[in-house]
Amino acid sequence: MLLILLISLASALVLGALLIRYSHLHERFSADHDLSGVQKFHAEPVPRVGGIPVALGLVAGSLCLFFQTHTWWPLLLLLTAVPAFGVGLIEDLTKKVGPGPRLIATFISAIFAYFLINAGLHRLDIPFVDTILSDIWPLSLLMTVIAVGGVAHAVNIIDGYNGLSGVVAIFIFLAMAYVSFKVQDVEMMGVCFAMIGAIAGFLFWNFPRGLIFSGDGGAYLVGFMIAEVSVLLVQRHASISPWFPLLCVIYPVFETVFSIYRRKFLQNRAIGYPDALHLHQIIYKRVVLWMVGSREASHLTQRNSLTSPYLWALSSFSVVPAMLFWSNTPVLICFVFAFMFTYVRLYRMIVRFRTPRWMLLRKSASD
């Protein structure tokens, strides 16, 4: 496992360095020059092709796993990820692919994985529902496609600040690697460590300086892999509760669900309408009051990076209990609802300017 981790990390680290060093050769296509969007919080154009180093690290780690175990399905899993990653990368380079086609691409990847490596949801630990999913495979396929596409899209939504989605993803893969160890699934551990190494190699350049962004390609690749590892763990091991991976990913998933509710029922806007009201964005605006008003690149970058640890801490409140109670469905369900309650309460407090003083991080531009 250590070798897989080091190979994937080194591959992502080196390619990330090369993309940054020679950014002048590709920035015409890869850099995000439009800094005026409501979801843009960086001060200078930055390459959005960080998904390429992540993909290379994953491939290198998976090849190492193959030579160690002679198991083919991890390589087939990489093949199924091509549509999700490829369409996201095309968006990073052309800025012309909308969220709809990207979501459809992840659906296609999920369908490939369902048939190629039997990555399907057949149980939710709900007796009546489990019977239906086991007996009617098209419903199982539909459930799988929605779940995988939803998780991939959710990871893309929280990919807004330096290190935010990357560290959250590492937390999730660490939890899944731990449970894989508990059930003695070497192949699943290897895939998790390949992803951890690949993301860590990218994060070296992304956090805190923001020298490269993961882009849609990287976010959809990481999200797709999280979803597929989740599905495969539950499918391969009856002792693992399907609520374990749900609790692991509840932060990005509930962020997405809450955003849909907020836009549709509270703001009367289209679900896909872009805004700057995600939890990480209001924390940036109302909690991290660092050099507010300054437009200096260094100040914006530092404020950007100071936002992510708040969300890392929030994510850990779901990932840690998931690791501890990975086979106990009733307890996991309780933690899922506890997290949703905590999220909504925290969001309301910040929006209503009732943030606890100890959470505020201040430094005026004049200091």
Per-residue confidence at 45, pLDDT binned at 50, 70, 90? confident
109, amino acid identity: S
Question: pLDDT by residue (tens digit) across 247-271?
Answer: 999 999 999 999 998 888 877 777 7
Decide if pLDDT at 273 tops 80: no
Q: What CA–CA distances, in Å, run from 79 to 72, 84, 116, 117, 202? A: 11, 10, 10, 11, 21
Report residue 141 as tokens. Answer: 């396929």
Q: Which value, to the nearest 10 degrees, does the dihedral of the CA atoms of residues 266, 268, 274, 276 take? A: -30
CA–CA separation, 47 and 30 (whole Å): 5
Mean pLDDT within 76-85: 96
> Which whole number is the average pLDDT over 177-182?
97
C-beta separation of 58 from 194 below 8 A? yes
Averaged pLDDT, 80-107: 94
Instruction: Report domain extents, the chain.
Output: 2-363
- Is residue 26 pLDDT above 70, yes or no? yes
| Cβ 193 vs Cβ 61: under 8 Å | yes
Task: Work out the pLDDT band at 29, boundaries 50, 70, 90.
Answer: confident
- Specify which residues 18 forms β-bridges with: none
More confident: 314 or 289 = 314
38 pLDDT above the threshold of 50: no
pLDDT at 118: 92
Compute how many other C-beta atoms are within 10 angstroms of the C-beta atom of residue 279: 23
- Give per-residue pLDDT as tens, 116-162: 999 999 999 988 888 898 889 999 999 999 999 999 999 999 988 99
What are the E-state strand segments in the chain?
288-290, 361-363
pLDDT, mean of residues 91-108? 92
Share of the chain above pLDDT 90, in %: 71
- In the prediction, which pLDDT does 196 show? 98
Average pLDDT, the chain: 90
Three-state DSSP class for 362? strand
DSSP string across 22-45 = TGGGTHHHHB-----STT---SS-
Has residue 58 got a pLDDT over 90? yes
Comparing 188 with 99, the larger pLDDT belongs to 188
DSSP 268-331: ---TT---S-SHHHHHHHHTEEESTT---HHHHHHHHHHHHHHHHHHHHHHHHHHHHTTT-HHH
